[in-house]
Every structure is written in C-alpha cells, then in structure tokens.
C-alpha cells in the first residue's frame, strides 16, 4: 500500500508554513507523498475578496513545483460544493484502494476534531496526523499521531494583510506565488514589491 498524506485547507494563499508541515510530516511518518488539497468551498471559512478556487489551486501548484514528494490534488475542486473531510476521504478511499491515507491537521483543528462532521466514521477509514500550532491546545481524546515540526506562527490571513498594506511577504511565500498574486492583483496587491 502506498502511504499518502493529505494536507487540506483553503490555501488562500499557500505559504511556507504549509510547505514546511507537508515536508516534515512526509519524512517523520515515512509517507511516499503528501498531496496538498485545496477545498472547493470550505465549510469553515469564506470571506469577500478571496481568491477564486482556480486561483488558489494555481498558487498551490506553483508553491509545490520542484519539491520532491509534494504534489497537488484538485479532487475537492473537481467535486465542487462544500468540502467535508468525511465525504472527501470516503470517496478517495473507495477510488484508491491501494493507498493508505493520513490526514494532516494543525493544532487548531485538533482542538475542533470532536465536532467534525461524522468524525466517528471518519476515524475508521483514515489516520490523523497532528502538528502542533502556537496558541492551540494540540491534544485530543481521538486517535491522532502527533508529529513534532518547527513551529511557525504564520497564517494566510497575515499574508493577505501584508499585501493589502503593501508590506513585505519575502520569505513567507514562495517567489512564484508572490509573482502570481501580484500579476492577478489578489488581496489588494500591487504589481511591485517593496
């Protein structure tokens, strides 16, 4: 069986924290690949002025280009609608019976895990890998394998704010993602950086 990690999220935009987590978990858990999977319509977060689903998918593709073991899955985008992990993973497990899936979540999501849609059924079909996040409790009574990674207190919200204010995003997102954001004028960005 091929061991595949799934890192879901809005990736609005993707940043080095996402890449660091995916890469660290891949090595710590001996996964063959980690798929970054942007949500079509996330159940928790929708804000006016966000990048479109297609733009978020493009940014993730740019972010993982040339990083061994990391790739992009457009599975949720192709399916469309609200993205619940149970629905996504049930279909993936059925479509890919030769893969063993590990769903990667941050500390903030670990804290909310008991409230996830159909969580009792979900934990029977996939394994959860948890990554600590500053300011979160980072524990659960549910089965979550914790992985120690370097912790960055970095969020897509901070990066969107930096673009809006004309601040620097250097070293926070891959250069190709920054160039795309400026080219598309996302998040109130201008075509030049400071």
C-beta neighbour count of 138 within 10 angstroms: 17
Residue 158 lies inside a defined structural domain of this protein: no
Residue 132 lies inside a defined structural domain of this protein: yes
Question: Block means of pLDDT (10 residues each) for the chain, length 194 residues?
Answer: 94 95 97 94 57 93 96 90 86 93 88 90 94 74 89 90 94 96 89 62
Helix (H) or strand (E) holding 17: helix 16-28
Residue 92 lies inside a defined structural domain of this protein: yes
The pLDDT score that the predictor gives to residue 133 is: 74
Residue 185 lies inside a defined structural domain of this protein: no
Residue 85 lies inside a defined structural domain of this protein: yes
Enclosing domain of residue 8: 2-152
The pLDDT score that the predictor gives to residue 120 is: 94
- Domains in the chain: how many in total? 1
The pLDDT score that the predictor gives to residue 28 is: 96
What's the CATH code of the domain at 57? 3.40.50.620
**With 0-12 CB in 10 A as exposed, 13-18 as middle and 19+ as buried, what is 165?**
exposed
CA 133 to mean position of chain CA atoms: 14
- Looking from the CA of 75 toward its CB, the CA atoms found within 13 Å total 22
Residue 94 lies inside a defined structural domain of this protein: yes
The pLDDT score that the predictor gives to residue 93 is: 93
The pLDDT score that the predictor gives to residue 68 is: 96
| E-state strands within 16-158 | 33-38, 70-72, 99-106, 127-131, 144-147
């Amino acid at each position: 069986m091929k061991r595949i990690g799934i890192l879901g999220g809005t990736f609005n935009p993707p940043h080095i924290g996402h890449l660091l987590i995916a890469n660290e978990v891949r090595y710590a858990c001996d996964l063959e690949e980690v798929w970054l999977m942007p949500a079509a319509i996330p159940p928790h977060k929708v804000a006016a002025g966000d990048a479109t689903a297609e733009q978020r998918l493009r940014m993730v593709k740019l972010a993982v280009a040339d990083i061994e073991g990391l790739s992009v899955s457009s599975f949720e985008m192709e399916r469309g609608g609200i993205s619940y992990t149970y629905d996504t993973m049930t279909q993936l497990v059925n479509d890919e019976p030769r893969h063993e899936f590990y769903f990667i979540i941050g500390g903030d999501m670990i804290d909310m895990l008991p409230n996830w849609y159909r969580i009792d059924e979900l934990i029977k079909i996939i394994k959860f890998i948890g990554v600590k996040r500053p300011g979160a409790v980072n524990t659960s009574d549910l089965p979550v394998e914790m992985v120690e990674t370097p912790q960055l207190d970095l969020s897509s919200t901070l990066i969107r704010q930096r673009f809006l204010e004309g601040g620097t995003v250097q070293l926070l997102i891959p250069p190709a993602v920054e160039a795309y954001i400026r080219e598309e004028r996302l998040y109130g960005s201008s075509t030049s950086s400071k």
